[in-house]
């Protein structure tokens, strides 16, 4: 559990007045500001086009904002860094390398002075953590979609980043596989006290995983002109920390929380639309 009296754990990630425009005078979002504490799991939800992935790419250092700043651990984010691990919906594995070698490549990039034995032991630890030791010497073409995503998650955790950025990592998986990996992710995050920022379209996934849920609005035209998107609301998840996927819908407060988020997405996420 976070110690709120320790200022070093507070506002570990800070996003200040972030704006992004692809078209002049029609920014996707403006004045986006939020903070994430160390060890906190935050999900962001919104309709396509609201700028979720743009925000994540800025945090990853893969894109730049039109204006505003982002800081992690009191340092401004400027370009990619091994301090931030990223997992995309597509696994992004190197097809000519085995599971072991895909993860070892990242580990060596992070710790170039490590011995081969130390790298291998570290790789095996994280492959075991996602339940893939039986496939450690297989190539991506020999793996299912769910297994490939497990490798991507293991690789991200193996470099021990200060923050994990997840862009709908389970979006292409079937429901059963998705649920299994959600459970695995929750277990690993709890063990490592990892700080996580995750994009999802799945309301139940956000309620299961997140400590807080950021709800985004889309930019919209109206009679008075164009209104950019931004943060519509931030919802605190008050369900028990030790919740599991199997019991989620039995918890007091689950349906109220779910209905609140769904209601936002239907009625408030796209201003100016008739519902």
pLDDT score at 205: 93
Residues 10 and 78 in one domain: yes
Same domain, 72 and 121: no
Domain that holds residue 14: 1-83+163-275
Contact 275, 266 (CB under 8 A): yes
pLDDT digit string, tens, across residues 26-35: 889 999 999 9
CA distance 55 to 229: 12
Q: Is the pLDDT of residue 3 over 50?
A: no
Report residue 160 CA to chain centroid gap: 15
pLDDT bucket at 9, cuts 50 / 70 / 90: low
Residue 262, number of CB atoms within 10 A of its CB: 11
- Do 132 and 193 lie in one domain? The reply is no
- Angle (nearest 5°) at CA 235 between 230 and 236: 140
Given this model, what pLDDT does residue 271 score? Answer: 67
pTM: predicted TM-score of the whole model, two decimal places: 0.88
Q: What is the DSSP string of 54-86?
A: HHHHHHHTSS--SEEEEEETTEE--S--TTEEE
* pLDDT tens digits along 116-125: 999 999 999 9
What integer pLDDT is reported at residue 24 of this predicted model? 81
**What mean pLDDT value characterizes the chain?**
89
Same domain, 244 and 264: yes
173/64 same-domain check: yes
For the segment 171-228, what is each residue's pLDDT rounded down to a tens digit?
A: 777 887 788 888 888 888 888 889 999 999 999 999 999 999 999 999 888 788 888 8
């Amino acid at each position: 559990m976070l110690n709120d009296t320790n200022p070093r754990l507070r506002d570990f990630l800070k996003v200040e007045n972030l704006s992004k425009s692809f078209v002049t005078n029609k920014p996707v979002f403006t004045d986006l500001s939020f903070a994430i504490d160390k060890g906190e799991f935050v999900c962001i939800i919104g309709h396509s086009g609201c700028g979720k992935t743009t925000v994540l790419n800025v945090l990853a250092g893969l894109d730049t904002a039109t204006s505003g700043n982002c800081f992690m651990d009191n340092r401004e984010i400027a370009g990619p860094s091994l301090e931030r691990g990223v997992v995309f919906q597509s696994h992004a594995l190197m097809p000519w390398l085995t599971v072991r070698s895909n993860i070892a490549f990242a580990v060596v990039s992070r710790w170039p002075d490590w011995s081969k034995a130390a790298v291998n032991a570290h790789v095996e630890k994280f492959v075991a953590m996602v339940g893939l030791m039986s496939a450690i010497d297989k190539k991506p073409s020999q793996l299912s979609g769910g297994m490939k995503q497990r490798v991507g998650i293991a690789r991200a955790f193996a470099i021990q980043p200060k923050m994990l950025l997840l862009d709908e990592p389970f979006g292409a998986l079937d429901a059963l596989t998705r649920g299994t990996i959600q459970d695995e992710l929750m277990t690993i995050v709890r063990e490592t006290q990892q700080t996580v920022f995750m994009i999802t379209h799945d309301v139940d996934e956000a309620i299961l995983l997140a400590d807080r849920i950021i709800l985004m609005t889309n930019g919209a035209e109206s009679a008075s002109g164009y209104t950019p998107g931004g943060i519509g609301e931030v919802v605190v998840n008050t369900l028990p920390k030790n919740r599991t996927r199997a019991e989620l819908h039995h918890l007091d407060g689950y349906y109220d929380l779910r209905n609140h988020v769904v209601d936002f997405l239907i009625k408030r996420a796209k201003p100016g639309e008739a519902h």
